[in-house]
A = this chain, B = another copy of it.
């Protein structure tokens, strides 16, 4: 299973020569931020020189053996979760005559943003969430965006509101995000919600999608968290930091590794659970992983690949080829955390609706 998935991840070309020996030049292809995508980690980061995996002297002898890690299949898990959500919404509709509603506000003509919004809409429809969309012109005023947020705040059929980021530069992002009422702020990034996540006797209204997806994968794959050593690599507001808080809530002993950390390799090697969210292709090598550890790779990094029709392939922060031979379980990229993010958006929207309609 692991080998098959490994091949699937790297594509046909990669299956034959792994991720070694390929070094690509940086191009100008931009990867844009989305508020509900791990790609947010890499705002405006260009496709990079490919950090090769296997031709390093640090590679451990164990790497010569076959891949042994169980593949944590985010795509299949997300599908399963979407099925559960759809069933719950169907029952909700039957018993109460209501369905959850999600509103997305898109400003401007960015293709990537339009794609994200389209995908969210599709995902909503697939589980029975009613989706609302407002598409405003690039040069519209902040006031206009705020007006739409206010309408959605007051609309009882809308349970979640998402503003697709980035917004045009003439707008104050914080003003706009703060305007979404906390009961409908399903992405869970408001400071009040993050504070509740950090505090031991409080409950957050919503857990941010991507870290929630990481923990959900650990749960569904039966990975124990309590009392385990965990390392989170990266400390972004949208993944690393809330993932740390979530692991701490589940009684892991957590260390946060970041750009100022000395000897991140040795620290990471102590962890039973590793979550990476840095946006550095193949940064985490096999030698960073403790044998038997569980690896959750949030990074989705585009690296140039002229053999692909689109000119690039997606790889994680972890050198999958190496780490899958050391870890006991690992998420592939793509097909790991990525699909979970949108499933968690649907889950949070359902939670918001149940709360609004007193169906909890």
Contacts and interface: CB of A to CB of B under 8 A. Distances in A.
Nearest to A202: B191
A260 interface: yes
Interface in A151-199: 190-199
B267 A257 contact: no
A47 interface: no
Interface residues of A, number: 33
B248 A253 contact: no
A237 interface: yes
Nearest to A261: B253
A214 B202 CA distance: 25
Contacts of A200: 235-237, 241
B258 A253 contact: yes
A256 B248 contact: yes
Interface in A182-228: 190-202, 226-227
A68 interface: no
Contacts of A226: 260
Contact of A227 (B190, B236, B248, B262): B262
27 contacts: A190-B195, A191-B192, A191-B195, A191-B202, A192-B195, A193-B195, A194-B194, A195-B197, A199-B237, A199-B241, A200-B235, A200-B237, A200-B241, A201-B237, A227-B260, A229-B262, A235-B248, A248-B256, A251-B258, A253-B255, A253-B256, A253-B257, A253-B261, A253-B262, A253-B267, A254-B256, A255-B255
Given A199-B241, A254-B255, 17 more contacts: A191-B192, A192-B195, A194-B194, A194-B199, A195-B197, A195-B198, A198-B241, A200-B235, A200-B236, A200-B237, A200-B241, A201-B237, A227-B262, A229-B262, A248-B256, A253-B258, A254-B256
